[in-house]
Amino acid sequence: MFRGESRFGIVDIGVAESVILAIGASFASRFSHDCSNRSAFENGCAIMREFMPDSEDLPRKPQLDSADSSSAAPSPALGTPSEGELTALILCGFVLFISVVMLVRNYGATVDNFADSSAYTGLASAIRHWDFHGIVIKQFWGLPYAMAAFSRITGLSDRTALLVFSFVPSVCAVLLARHLWDGWIAGYFAILNFEWIQRSCLGGSEPLFVCLLFGAFASVRRQRWTLAALLASFATIVRPLGLFALLGIGIALLWKRDFRRFTAVTATGLAVGILYSIPLAIHFGDALATVNSYHSKQWQGGWLFGFPFYAIIKGTILYPAPWTNLILSFGWIFLVVLGTIVMAKSSEFHAYCKSHVVEAIFLVPYLWCLFTYNYPVWARSNFERFAIPILPFVLLALCRQLPKDRRVLWGLGIVSPLLAASSALGVISVANMLRSVIR
């Protein structure tokens, strides 16, 4: 499910990020009139040609998970950013982001006060000591379990464990995106979204979730179904909408009539789910405690998901926000809606979905949840964060219009982390710091 998070500081950097969003949106808008053109996905679907022996016939003869028939790793299109370049781009962003934070505040204190970081470290400590007194269940426990295990093995603090499970999965997720789709898609995925950068550098469940999710997709393409189910199961206990990927794996195997593997992946998912639920049942009397914690009186009719865009519009009316934040939020909404329209109209994207059934089964209900999330407080303000897992699909749909220019990629790779850090800290705090430096 989606969950809103509290943020500290003043966040009014919307104009700056809107400029970045405008680069993608302005190119994307030109694409809406010819989205059925076959060449629109020639770069984004290059990955399919590495797997499929008859890639020339892809639009005419798509076959279920035919892209999964190869055991060889896909090779992104020539000329796209390499793994080394992407790693350098990410690490450069990390250094810039952390440097700005350290100039204004204590980095450790910033991590502790950011979003749900303190909740995750508190849960990790409780798991490590197996003492749940005073614990209020809100977040899923997948990330805290990983943090607790890491802290117990290494002797490092829970905060350090949180950062490790933010930095490392963030890098791995981008590199997996390169192998799944394209180097340009992976590059822009790494730098466009401020929420992704912030949670990669200050802690959050998104990097681990996306890394596990993309790892499951990559395993499906290599026909390592049990491993894919294990990764999707782990993703689900980090953020529950990973369940769509797990369901996709099962449906794909049923469609193939591969009942032996279906039994194996079902057993894998059930084993992870049961092991996750046992401590909740013992200590809280509710095996589905984390699921049941997703409840609010603000849900229309008591449902977590409602009518498309209803909560977004209602939240915009009931909870005033600076116009810069509104531009930022609706910029992301526009970009995702435009990408969804292209996905719906393009025969090439339909063929892609038929060839990558697991990804399609994850994507479609996730988009529905994204647009129908029935919590007005967060539906608009956190849209950018909620859109992170499906951003590569949006970029794939609009890939023809992505600037294939390293000057643009690296320019944004330098500017975005600086603006993301300013957004996390609050523009006033950064402005005061700059004044003190100038004086």
Residue 147 tokens read as 């943090």
Looking at the chain, the whole-number percentage of residues with pLDDT higher than 90 is 61
Distance CA(211)–CA(146), nearest Å, equals: 14
pLDDT for the residue 431: 67
H helices of 105-157, where? Answer: 107-113, 117-129, 142-154
302: in domain:
yes
| 99 within domain boundaries | yes
Asked if residue 177 is part of any domain, the answer here is yes
pLDDT at 23: 43
Residue 57 placed within a domain? no
Q: Which helix (H) or strand (E) holds 193?
A: none
Asked whether residue 204 is domain-assigned, the answer is yes
Q: How far apart are CA 290 and CA 152, in angstroms?
A: 24
Angle at CA 294, nearest 5°, toward 291 and 298? 155
For residue 375, the model assigns a pLDDT of 84
Could you tell me if residue 96 is inside a domain? Answer: yes
pLDDT at 297: 58
How many other C-beta atoms lie within 10 A of the C-beta of residue 129?
A: 9
Q: Tell me the residue length of the chain.
A: 439
pLDDT in tens, 414-436: 999 999 999 888 766 666 666 66
Would 62 be classed as within a structural domain?
A: no
Q: State the pTM of this model.
A: 0.82
Mean pLDDT score of the chain: 83
Q: Is residue 55 part of a domain?
A: no
> Residue 365 in contact with residue 244, Cβ under 8 Å?
yes
Tally the domains of the chain.
1
Give residue 152's domain range. 14-27+76-438
Cα 385 from chain centroid (whole Å): 7
CA-closest candidate to residue 328, choices 396, 412, 420: 420
Q: Taking 60 as the threshold, does the pLDDT of residue 355 lie above it? A: yes
